Amino acid sequence: MALALRSHGISLAGFTAHSQAGRVRAESWLGGRATADLAELVSLEPDVFFVAVPDQALPRVAAHLGELLAVCPRAVQPVVAHTSGATSVEVLRSCEQAGAATLVFHPLQTFSDPSTAWTRFAGAAVAITPSASTAGSANAALVFSLAQLLGARPFLLPDDKRALYHAAAAMACNYLVTLEHDAQRLFVKAGLPETEALSLFLPLVRTTLENIGTQGTVDALTGPLSRGDTGTVANHLTALADDAPDVLPLYRILGLRTLELVRARGHADPSLIAALADLLQTA
């Protein structure tokens, strides 16, 4: 995020990390020198603090930041935003009590390599959850404008729905990785070269994602369930029971959920859908 904001003319006042190794990594990406600790960073009096730490560290870091802000009064109210998708804005309560405006700023995007991923804010959604006292303020508008500066699409997310929102993000992103991992295993078991299997089936995945984007989830569905092909599904179940029994429960559960899409399309005979459901549920 620092790389992305800086590319749009925002000044990076300073940065730090918990460990020396983390500070060295940050310096390698951002240049300059990381501040030795959080107190030194607070002394620089930035307008906005982004707390981008693991969820389990967030309460401790937020409490420490709040303590430091309380003993360093500012003429201009600072903004403190954390970037966790699942954690409530309430974790920043000590910062708010110290006079800061507090928000959550969570990009709905994956960033695996900071040196290249800073360009991925463009077009990405950003879930913003201000505290009750910050909602509707100029500082809330400031954070929205920062997201828009990055080309992102900010939206307000209610604090009591953050866990559900983050579960949806995990399904859309993390579990997709797991699903493709299991698909790769099955392709290799079927005889595809292990070193090439991923590159051979990823075009199928990419096209499916493109179809979802242009047609929506229901109309993008293809495959034997969408066609009502009970024979092919039965063969899948037999093959998985023989060669990958650990994947069989996942196939069944996903198949049953996929039948909801088949029903939504309204093209398949209800009796055929029922037959497919019975087939998938049979032990």
Name 163's Cβ contacts closer than 8 Å, sequence gap at least 6. 86
| pLDDT higher than 70, residue 94 | yes
3-state secondary structure of 153: strand
**DSSP 8-class letter at 173:** I
**Do the Cβ atoms of 1 and 83 come closer than 8 Å?**
yes
CA distances (Å), origin 96, targets 69, 75, 142, 163: 9, 15, 17, 22
For residues 223 and 255, the answer to whether their CB atoms sit within 8 Å is: no
- The tokens for 145 are 């404008």
Report the topology of domain 2-157: Rossmann fold (3.40.50)
In this structure, are residues 183 and 153 in contact, taking their beta carbons and an 8 Å threshold?
no
Average pLDDT over residues 190-197: 96
Per-residue model confidence (pLDDT) at position 111? 86
What was the pLDDT predicted at 74? 83
pLDDT of residue 114: 81
Whole-number pLDDT of residue 72: 86
Please tell me what DSSP assigns to residue 126: E
Angle between the N-to-C axes of helices 197-215 and 175-190, in degrees from 0 to 180, rounded to the nearest 10: 130
pLDDT tens for 139-166 read: 999 999 999 999 999 999 999 999 999 9
Where do we find the tokens 């303590």? 67
pLDDT, residue 73, reads 78
Return the pLDDT at 283: 54
Q: Count Cβ neighbours within 10 Å for each residue of 61-99 and write b for 16 or more, e otherwise.
A: bbebbbbbbeeeeeeeebbbbbbbbbbbbebbbbbbebe
165-281 folds as: N-(1-d-carboxylethyl)-l-norvaline Dehydrogenase; domain 2 (1.10.1040)
In this prediction, residues 29-47 reach a mean pLDDT of 93
> What residues does each domain of the chain span?
2-157, 165-281
What is the overall mean pLDDT for the chain?
A: 94
Of 49, 39, 59, give the one whose Cα is nearest residue 81.
49
